[in-house]
Amino acid sequence: MCYYKGNMMDSSTELISLDPKEIPCECEIIIYSRFSINQLSVIDVDKTFLKLVTDLNKPVIVTLSREGFYTDWGIILGPDGNAKDAKVLCDFAKENKIAGYLLEGLTPECLYRPFNDKIAQYIIPYIKQLSECSCPGFIIGVAVDAHGSSIKNPCMYNFAAMNDFVTFYEIKTYLLNGCDPSIYNGITPITKFDHGAKYLYGMEEVASILKESKICLTKIVYDIEMYPVDPASETFTSYSQVCKGEFNCSSWCIQTTNNFFDKGKFALEQDSGIIVKFVDLDDIKNECACSSSFIGFKNIIAGFRGGSQITCAKYDVQSTPNSIK
């Protein structure tokens, strides 16, 4: 699956907008994320742009984000879910060729909002209502905060009750740590760390916690973060900037083709799915003069499909050997 925002120049003039028609063919399912719905069940989306995505004739899942994030879930849900809200979403899906929804923001995460234990209870009938949309094979995804305190807490995620109605779980293995290029090129490593001064929370540790929970392991899909990180920036950064030399190697975290290949391979070994997040932020115009555009993405796919790594000198700017994957 490929997470696609579109219109990235709206976020920053330093970014390049990826035309939907240029999304790599390996993206079998597209997750479109510029969508929200408010407490009154009013949807905010650019239907014209969304149509450009659905016209690709691939399954398109829309992120079901509430306008007020976690707080709104507590307001709109009741003991019987919310049949009216679910119907609005079902009707929208049928009218706009949407294959399913990915429910976001079901935990407070780092938003410093009060915890509401009713959300985990009331989301079950709501998910069931969405799953009954009269669309064959309608997809329901749930985004899961990857921290152990959330995964292990049935008052956050009642996996035992959700498993029958959820098609897949997006495990949010991105932005799990701060950026420190002296330890690791990216933000979320694979390697499981010992706790200490240089501890990083990694995908192996997340996987071990998931195996101790009641989540359906065959429905797990891991996020792979597809962008360099500039700690001084308040918005996204992209590999286009890296290719043009617009970065600071001592402060930016810039994953290499090897990092991406290893993460695809990790997902293969876990027998899980992958979500590349965000495909828009790769070297989409081949400004690094690699063997092709989207070289980071193609390495994820190569690792996931048992292929070989494809290196690129201008892309692999943080290639200091270390034992951390």
pLDDT of 121-151, one tens digit each? 999 999 999 998 877 789 999 999 999 999 9
Question: Residues 6 or more apart from 42 whose CB is under 8 A from it?
Answer: none
In a domain, 285, yes or no: yes
Domain that holds residue 192: 2-304
Q: Tell me, yes or no, whether 234 lies in a domain.
A: yes
The answer to whether residue 316 sits within a structural domain is: no
Read off the pLDDT of residues 45-67 as tens digits, 9 standing for 90 and up.
999 999 999 999 999 999 999 99
Contact (CB, 8 A) for 5 and 50 = no
Q: Is residue 193 part of a domain?
A: yes
Out of 39-43, 166-170, 230-234, pick the least confident. Answer: 230-234
The reply to whether 323 falls in a domain is: no
Classify 44 as helix, strand or coil: strand
Amino acid 152: pLDDT: 95
The chain-wide mean pLDDT, for the chain, equals 94
pLDDT of residue 66: 96
Question: What pLDDT, in 10s, does the model give residues 272-300?
Answer: 999 999 999 999 999 999 999 999 999 99
Output the domain CATH number for residue 273.
3.20.20.80
pLDDT for res 3: 96
| Whether residue 175 has pLDDT greater than 80 | yes
Contacts for 117 with CB less than 8 Å, ≥ 6 apart: 155
Q: Each residue of 245-254: pLDDT tens digit? A: 999 989 999 9
- As a whole number, mean pLDDT of residues 250-277 equals 96
For position 98, what pLDDT does the model report? 96
Residue 322 maps to a domain:
no
- pLDDT for 88 beyond 80: yes
Q: How far apart are CA 213 and CA 154, in angstroms?
A: 9
Residue 209 has pLDDT above 70, yes or no: yes
Exposed e or buried b per residue across 195-225, where buried means at least 16 C-beta atoms within 10 angstroms of its C-beta: eeeeebbbbbbbbebbeebbbeeebbbbbbb
Q: Quote the CA–CA distance of 121 and 90 in Å, as a whole number.
A: 21
DSSP structural state of residue 280: G
What percent of the chain has pLDDT above 70? 98
Count of the separate structural domains present in the chain? 1
181 assigned to some structural domain: yes
Cα-based angle 196, 149, 167 (whole degrees, multiple of 5): 125
Distance of CA 236 to the CA centre of its chain: 14
Instruction: Tell me the mean pLDDT in the region 62-77.
Output: 95
In a domain, 321, yes or no: no
How far is residue 56 from each of residues 51, 53, 141, 228, measured CA to CA in Å? 9, 6, 21, 28
Q: What 3-state DSSP class applies to 275?
A: strand
